[in-house]
Chains A and B, each alone.
Chain A
């Protein structure tokens, strides 16, 4: 059974204080690993897809990296508007497998 564990559950940062969120996964062959951002009362918003170990993607203050067992979301010099819950999800390889398995998320609060 595919599993995704995210840590920490919650993270409070001062504005400008860089940090990383962790996503550990077990999956029977990885088709893709996804990062989403979710604001309260809204649906998840797509950030990145990573497909193979060593791959990196960047967008503004966010950078996602992937190894064979985990992914990191690095946040550089965060701003209060980066406050949200960040969700990690995996999609297993294999014919006919389209579902994503999500972790519980990391709730990030950036204090001015």
Chain B
């Protein structure tokens, strides 16, 4: 069990640029989640995949955000035309069925 892996750990980008983050879940986990966390707040749900199907999306996920999980393995989260308000820690988590979520250490995004 190597845990949930996220890449990159840090990303600094200029406003208006596109960014993409990658998440590699624990290998036998069929469920994958994306959360966003800002300083002093708890994580906020963004979206959820079961295998390759995206089954649930938060209202927080504007049309500038898109997530994919091709072949039900790794996942990517893309943010287009970044805004300063997108600066946050983006957390990925995975689980097998209804087991508790295991989180990665996140990608910290700074939009300048």
Contacts and interface: CB of A to CB of B under 8 A. Distances in A.
Interface of A: 4, 34, 36, 41-46, 49, 87, 89, 96-105
Given A96-B56, A98-B33, A43 B40 contact: no
B25 interface: no
B74 interface: no
9 contacts: A36-B103, A43-B103, A43-B104, A45-B103, A87-B42, A100-B43, A102-B43, A104-B40, A104-B42
A98 B40 CA distance: 24
Interface centre among B42, B48, B58, B93 (most CB of A within 10 A): B42
Interface residues of B, number: 22
B41 A46 contact: no
A44 B43 contact: yes
Interface of B: 4, 31, 33, 40-45, 48, 55-56, 58, 91, 93, 100-106
A35 to B, nearest CB: 10
Contact of B100 (A34, A99, A101, A102): A34
Contacts of A97: 56
Nearest to A87: B42
**10 smallest A-B Cβ distances: which pairs?**
A102-B42, A43-B103, A99-B45, A46-B100, A43-B105, A44-B103, A42-B105, A98-B48, A102-B43, A104-B42
A43 B33 CA distance: 13
A100 B44 CA distance: 8
B58 A98 contact: no
Given A96-B55, A98-B33, A104 B41 contact: yes
Contacts of B103: 36, 43-46
